[in-house]
Amino acid sequence: MLKSVNKICDCANDADFQTKNKVILFISGNFHKFEEVHSILSPMGITVGMLRVKGEEIQSDNNNEIAKKSATEAFNKCCLPLIVEDAGLFIDAHEGFPGPYSAYVYKTIQNKGILKLMENIQNRKATFHSTIAYYSRKTGPLLFEGQIEGKITLTERRGNNNSGFGFDPIFQPAQSNKTFAEMTLKEKNCVSHRAKAVNKFAQWYNKQT
Ligand code: IMP
């Protein structure tokens, strides 16, 4: 096993090929995220492939730290230019909770539980945050952030686009009457936290190559 990793790590040529041809890996097990990222990067001339790299789930109370550590860990395994993304939903009335714990909260209490936590609460304000961490041998870890303010829907989940991915059915961006799950991929990409972070990354990346 170690032998094969070393062999991969010797392949500096692969990394050169990737950079020259604007090919990067998106390390994730989440196909919805990949679709969003791919549909932004592809028209900007950047080819992105999805790769799932098994590793320990990184715990931290900071999304940037999680993204940075995940990117570093993934690079140590595959030695090729890559990005990882870490997102979180920050609810004002709960002092930013679940924030960096969003994945765990979604896994356990899901959207139904969030709506329950919001029962009888007037202040529905929430912010979605995304951190993209890029890692290459040349640059080390670089972070790009995006966020979008909005609110948690009143009582119900709305929409099933993107298969009602994550908190999409209960998050309605400010200045929109649709939840993320009621938007098309294109509409979500015009406003989302992830799209903002990915666009910042792409603009930087295209200046380097
Ligand atoms: P992750 O740790 O970046 O995968 O995201 C934390 C949690 O937020 C996961 O449970 C995701 O389902 C959820 N999540 C991340 N991004 C989005 C999004 O764009 N819409 C809805 N839910 C999201």
pLDDT class of 15 with cuts at 50, 70, 90:
confident
User: Could you tell me if 18 and 47 are in contact, meaning their C-beta atoms sit under 8 angstroms apart?
Assistant: no
Nearest protein Cα to ligand 1, atom 6: 103
- pLDDT surpasses 70 at 10: no
Amino acid at 188: K
- Segment 160-169 shows an average pLDDT of 90
- pLDDT surpasses 70 at 1: no
Running DSSP on this structure, what letter comes out for residue 10? T
Domain count of the chain?
A: 1
User: Could you tell me if 115 and 94 are in contact, meaning their C-beta atoms sit under 8 angstroms apart?
Assistant: no
- pLDDT surpasses 70 at 83: yes
| 191 closest CA partner among 204, 177, 180, 200 | 180
Q: State the CATH number of the domain containing residue 7.
A: 3.90.950.10
pLDDT, tens digit, 9 for 90 and up, residues 93-122: 999 999 999 999 999 999 999 999 999 999
Instruction: Evaluate the omega torsion of the peptide bond into residue 98 and state whether it is cis, within 30 degrees of 0.
Output: yes
Range of the domain at 80: 2-208
Assess whether the C-beta atom of 180 lies below 6 angstroms from ligand 1.
yes
pLDDT at 11: 59
Chain centroid to CA 185:
15
Name the active-site residue from 14, 16, 61, 86. Answer: 86
Q: Is 86 a catalytic residue?
A: yes
Atom of ligand 1 nearest to the CA of 30: 4
Tell me the CA–centroid distance for residue 123 and ligand 1, in Å: 22
User: Could you tell me if 37 and 26 are in contact, meaning their C-beta atoms sit under 8 angstroms apart?
Assistant: yes
Rounded to the nearest integer, the mean pLDDT of the chain is 91
